[in-house]
Structure 1
Amino acid sequence: MKTLKLFTLKNDRMHGPGGNPWQSVNLDHPSTFETLAMDTEIKNMVIDDLKRFVNRKEFYRKVGKAWKRGYLLFGPPGTGKSSLIAAMANYLNFDVYDLELTDLRSNSDLRRLLISTANRSILVVEDIDASIDLSERKSARPPRQPSMYPFHYNEGSKVTLSGLLNFIDGLWSSCGDERIIVFTTNHKEKLDPALLRPGRMDVHIHMSYCTPCGFKMLVSIYLRITEHPLITEVEQMIGTNKVTPAEVGEQLLKSDDPEVALRGMIEFLEKKKESEAKAFQKNQEVTKTEVLPKPGEEQNGETSSGESELVDL
């Protein structure tokens, strides 16, 4: 099995024609589908979809589609999106290309990068909703002020929505075979609907907060146990708390003693629930304050002077 690589863009990639714009390091991420804290049903769905994809080269040619597959991973931070990408790479034995859209100056830059990626690879665009304004349906924004460093790539991206769509499923998307494209976002609702349809983002995977099933998986990985009197208690608390797999893993790392680690987990969940309850109560108080009438405003059909206000029906 080959050594997997993680590719990122070179800062000087535009210097000199014909040069490779990517630089790489070994991808040693240990995440696998066996270690992912995901519901078994969703995990098996992803595995089956990947198996079907890599075995359908002739089918894609027969129906006239580029041999690629698009995934959208969405959900709160810390729910395992990066770990799932690493598990996909390890499962398929595919290299990973990490593309930062804000580093690109134009649609042409995007096309050149696509051409320079290898077959049998995963192209990742993380936090797509936050990385660039992709909507062409919004009103024009005011022009940017001139920069002190006019050739700095982070000055602002000029990649457009149409350019990105052409990159995903237009003519340029057929430049290469057996490609996986993964987009991640914390806010799916912010994405333009044109990006979400099949053929662009074929599979939408909700990376949720930790479930009891995911917790048991993490306990078996971190503490190497499958049974303990406190596991059931924590599972019940997990079901009523919004806690990410990353938070659970951090708590389980604090001790090698299962008793100590699980009691620490219970204490963490109790404090988290108490903190969320206080935040909710404070928000309710603020809301009530905002809706209370100010002096001189109408209340119950009367003005501040106490006279009834007539309303024409």
Structure 2
Amino acid sequence: MVEGYSVLNTFQLLSTLLHRFVGESFMASWVGPQWISKFAWLIALLENEAMLMGISLTFGPALMKYLSNSYYRIENFITSRLYVTIEVDEMDIIHTPISKFISQEIKKLDIKEAQASYDHDANEDYNHRGNSSRAPAFQLHPLLNNQIKFKYKGKTFWINRVTGDEAGKVKSKMTNFERMIFGGEKVSFRVVTRGSNVRILKEYLALWMEDYYKSHADKLVVYKCVHDGKGACHWSENATKDARSLDTVILKQQLKENIVKDINYFLDHKEWYADKGIPYRHGFLLKGPPGTGKTSVVRSLASTLGKGLAVVNLTNITSDEELTAMVSTLPHDTFLLMEDVDHCLKVIEKAAATKPTDGALGPKNVTLPGLLSMLDGYDMRDGTVFFMTCNDESALPAVMKRRGRVDQEITLDYADEYQIVTMFERFFKSVYHGSDDTWQTICDRLKKCIPTGTIATAELQGLFLDFSFSLQREKITKAAFDDLLDNRIQPFLDQIKESREISQTDREQKLTFLTNRMLKKKKEDSNSDDD
């Protein structure tokens, strides 16, 4: 189709030009009247449309290709002298802040076409059922392979969203297969402005990112790591959540304060670690039953100390090289959280012990030596603070908990009296209508109804939350608590005991499922390599 179009255009161009230039008047002025007879054969040949079409078919495509390449070479030459360009892959960590800024600028323009996407951050108060006082918010971006121009601080910028081959200049951190699964072909922002050095454009992009992070100063940014199965990975923003105060996490007395003090001491002694030749990293192992606040305390610590939070699952990592790449590229000022490491180790060990079938070489996953090497900290970014959570401490080998790999072991157990009463008061004391003596009597009864070390704080929160919904009143009297203390607590404790037995069975089934999935993936990878 393109070749036919080129031939047709070449024929029309040659026909127009030759009819003009081979006329007698032009030839007479060009070569003189005495030479016209001598070139009569050439004039007749060039005026023959059949001959002209043959020339077009023979040389047309090559000529049009040459002219096209010449045009783009000239254009690129001029552009490279007058403009600077930066492309940002959609899978890169800087894509989100730059995308947000571009969307804000586009909203100010008088344009006719744009691509819209739902803005989750801006729609927190929007009610999709139609009874909200706010209209839904959208992000606006250029249509694919189209360009939009705007001005920022007096400077003009051209923004393109390019796909496929057009985005080929960007080294993507996601494989083609992953793009097919997670969102199609490669897309990047191409940002262009006038200038002689890309440094000036880099400075503007830095300003846009700074504006974005200032607007998220009271938010917790959660990162996820995407692996390509070949030892490479990259981090991207997974969610932006409201910062959670450390006061909302009820731990045993002084435990929160001790953790914060320990982290701050580490962060303030970078030079000391350098002088001693010790890897500048700090590790915590948070252990205890499910629902005791392990993940919640890490999230609240990150919020309180102004850090991001990067969450990983070890069963998703397919090699020690990927694990190394993950920790070495951790976003700056970010805590690393590895959840349920005991469960992950069980999955990995069970998969490794399973005999491969159909020629498979065994599961691809991180190994214990690779994990231990990571915990030693030599591949971590300086200043990394990481947390591991586990429910079953016995599943962790002793070498994994060795001092120097884990700096602090913290047990978060079932609630003690302090936690039970503190959570109860946080829910109900502000709406209680009665004397202080009566309130103390209610708290004493509560401690007798819920023995120490029998219920997790998450379970306790569920009990109090359900009770508060059932009250349907602002002021609560002593009589209102009789139903809770006499009729609700014991059935709830019996239900918790039963659900824990069911959960244990579910965990064993999940362990088997994940192991089988890991072996299946290895078999598929092996068959793919053979092909």
Q: Does the pair score TM above 0.5? A: yes
Distance between the aligned counterparts of 2:232 and 2:365, measured in 1? 22
| CA-CA distance at 1:240 after TM superposition | 4.5
In the alignment, residue 195 of structure 1 is paired with which amino acid? M
State the match for 1:208 in structure 2.
Answer: 413
State the match for 2:487 in structure 1.
Answer: 267
Give a deviation string over 1:258-308, Cα, whole Å, max 9, x none.
554674255343235667999xxxxxxxxxxxxxxxxxxxxxxxxxxxxxx
| CA-CA distance at 1:142 after TM superposition | 3.2
State whether structure 2 residue 295 is matched by structure 1 residue 86. Answer: no
The 5 Å alignment of 1:150-161 reads 156-161=363-368
State the match for 1:287 in structure 2.
Answer: none
Distance between the aligned counterparts of 1:107 and 1:84, measured in 2? 28
Please tell me whether the aligned partners of residues 253 and 261 of structure 1 are also in contact (alpha carbons under 8 angstroms).
no
SS at structure 2 position matched to 1:82: helix
Aligned partner (choices 181, 193, 197) of residue 402 of structure 2: 197
Q: Which moved more, 1:222-231 or 1:48-57?
A: 222-231
SS at structure 2 position matched to 1:172: coil
Please tell me whether the aligned partners of residues 413 and 453 of structure 2 are also in contact (alpha carbons under 8 angstroms).
no
The 5 Å alignment of 1:93-172 reads 93-133=306-346, 141-145=353-357, 156-172=363-379
TM-score (norm 2): 0.45
Please tell me whether the aligned partners of residues 73 and 81 of structure 1 are also in contact (alpha carbons under 8 angstroms).
yes
| CA-CA distance at 1:89 after TM superposition | 0.4
The number of aligned residues is: 267
State the match for 2:392 in structure 1.
Answer: 187
- Classify 1:16/1:133 alpha carbon distance in 2 versus 1 (closer, same or farther; 3 Å): closer
Query: Which is bigger in relative contact order (C-alpha 8 A, separation at least 6)?
Result: 1
SS at structure 2 position matched to 1:22: strand
Aligned partner (choices 425, 448, 466) of residue 236 of structure 1: 448
Distance between the aligned counterparts of 2:406 and 2:229, measured in 1? 33
State whether structure 2 residue 240 is matched by structure 1 residue 26. Answer: yes
State the match for 1:251 in structure 2.
Answer: 463
Please tell me whether the aligned partners of residues 69 and 180 of structure 1 are also in contact (alpha carbons under 8 angstroms).
yes
| Structure 1: gaps spanning 5 or more residues | 279-313
SS at structure 2 position matched to 1:210: coil
Identity %: 22
TM-score (norm 1): 0.74
SS at structure 2 position matched to 1:24: strand
| CA-CA distance at 1:7 after TM superposition | 0.9
Cα RMSD of the aligned pairs, angstroms, is 3.3
State the match for 1:9 in structure 2.
Answer: 225
SS at structure 2 position matched to 1:25: strand
| CA-CA distance at 1:239 after TM superposition | 3.2
The 5 Å alignment of 1:218-229 reads 218-225=423-430, 228=439, 229=441
Please tell me whether the aligned partners of residues 14 and 21 of structure 1 are also in contact (alpha carbons under 8 angstroms).
no
Please tell me whether the aligned partners of residues 414 and 452 of structure 2 are also in contact (alpha carbons under 8 angstroms).
no
| CA-CA distance at 1:41 after TM superposition | 2.4
In the alignment, residue 211 of structure 1 is paired with which amino acid? D
Distance between the aligned counterparts of 1:45 and 1:78, measured in 2? 21
State the match for 2:286 in structure 1.
Answer: 73
Give a deviation string over 1:230-278, Cα, whole Å, max 9, x none.
1111123333460111111111112445554674255343235667999
Distance between the aligned counterparts of 1:224 and 1:250, measured in 2? 17
SS at structure 1 position matched to 2:283: strand
- Classify 1:214/1:262 alpha carbon distance in 2 versus 1 (closer, same or farther; 3 Å): farther
Distance between the aligned counterparts of 2:454 and 2:284, measured in 1? 25
SS at structure 1 position matched to 2:222: strand
| CA-CA distance at 1:172 after TM superposition | 1.3
| Structure 2: gaps spanning 5 or more residues | 1-213, 499-531
Please tell me whether the aligned partners of residues 75 and 186 of structure 1 are also in contact (alpha carbons under 8 angstroms).
yes
